[in-house]
Amino acid sequence: MSSAYQVIARKWRPQTFDDVVGQDHVVRTLRNAIARNRIAHAYLFVGPRGTGKTSTARIFAKALNVTGGPKADFDPEDPIAKSIAEGSCLDVIEIDGASNNGVDQVRELRETVVYAPAQGSYKVYIIDEVHMLSASAFNALLKTLEEPPAHVKFIFATTEVQKVLPTIISRCQRFDLKPIPAGLIVQRLKKIAVAENVKVSDEALQSIARMADGGMRDAQSIFDQMISFCGSEIGEADVLDVYGLVSAAKIAELAAALAAGDHRRIVGIVDDCDENGRDLYRLLVDLQAHIRTALLDSIAQGGTSGALGTPMSTEQLTRLLDGLREGEGGVKHGLSEKVNFEVALLKAVEASRARAIDSLIKEIATLAESLPEDPVKKND
């Protein structure tokens, strides 16, 4: 009988510190803490979904408990490391904060922390989505968190750190995990594609990375779905059709039309995208990212950029971006997505062509200073 299918996000979950992608600052600090024997009693991992919070917590738990540990460079085939990966290790307790958020569960935790670890050196409590704990549960945890037994380590993970009590945060070492750059996501997906015998174009991988918004797990789940849809060969058009994305070339074309103020071309591109079932809100987000690149270029070039095909000043690009941002709510929640999208684009074009009154006054003053002195006034 064949073994059960395992989704890519689980099959390719990081197993060692070397596998963690895009979080070098976190990995380096944890490695140094182990090497210098400066292991804190509580850690807080903060970051968007799919960036490696729980995976890093498990890897750290392995590093603390492997045979001969703590050690940062451990063998993932070590029996204790394997049992932690499989979720069967008695010394690593994973708790879902969303479903275990009451004070009774925390009191039960407080009663079990006193017992010594069964296999490794430490008992590690990993509490995912810790912000879901109730206020009374947080308060019940405070004393244990401040002075836990020497053999106990706490690792908390959350996507919404603002909901965690400051008294909890102050008792932890905080690590902020960043959204993973698209380039690193593409590299990882390429490696997975080779191992899974899947042929995928670079453009398709770029589209998947763009869709994932910095989340490796999201990217792997999208990739998994595309394999189910396409089989062993995936092209850019397949990804665009399944997820309603617009190609990078079309986004650049629309941005160029905005920069040139070509209203007819703007409406034509929107019509084409709408007829092909594209997600216009997603297009608005991608368009802003594209124009932001031009804005950064204008800053680097000293105030003007031709990245969109038409030379635009930093002020014009800022106004264009601001106009698009103001249209987000209407496109996302309005009754007519297409009409609201068109209005947002056309308003943004007009905003980019308006002049700020202060910059206009400054320009007039500069021109006035450069004019030659009136000869009549000079004779007087």
Residue 2 forms part of a structural domain: no
Check: CB of residue 135 under 8 Å from CB of residue 165. yes
Structure token pair of residue 334 = 């309005």
Residue at 303 is within a domain = yes
Identify the weakest region by mean pLDDT among 5-14, 60-69, 367-376: 367-376
Specify whether 209 is located in the same domain as 269.
no
Last residue of a domain, one of 124, 146, 176: 176
Q: Is residue 370 part of a domain?
A: no
Tally the domains of the chain.
3
Q: Could you tell me if residue 95 is inside a domain? A: yes
CATH assignment at residue 354? 1.20.272.10
pLDDT of amino acid 145? 85
What CATH number is attached to the domain comprising 200?
1.10.8.60
Q: What percent of the chain has pLDDT over 70?
A: 95
DSSP letter for each residue of 95-124 = EETTTS-SHHHHHHHHHHTTSPPSSSS-EE
Band the pLDDT of 97: cuts 50, 70, 90: confident
Q: Is 268 domain-assigned?
A: yes
- Chain segment 115-150, per-residue pLDDT in tens: 888 888 899 999 898 888 888 888 888 888 888 888
Q: Give the chain's mean pLDDT.
A: 88
pLDDT digits (tens, 9 = 90+) for 219-233: 999 999 999 999 889
Statement to judge: residues 112 and 207 lie in one domain? no
pTM metric for this prediction? 0.81
Between CA 190 and CA 203 the distance in angstroms is 12
- Strands (DSSP E) along the chain, which ranges? 42-46, 92-96, 123-128, 152-158, 173-176, 199-200, 233-234, 304-305, 312-313
Looking at the predicted structure, is the pLDDT value of residue 332 above 60? yes
124 and 254 housed in the same domain: no
- Model confidence at 265, pLDDT cuts 50, 70, 90, reads very high
Pair 165, 44 in one domain: yes
Which structural domain range is residue 211 located in? 182-243
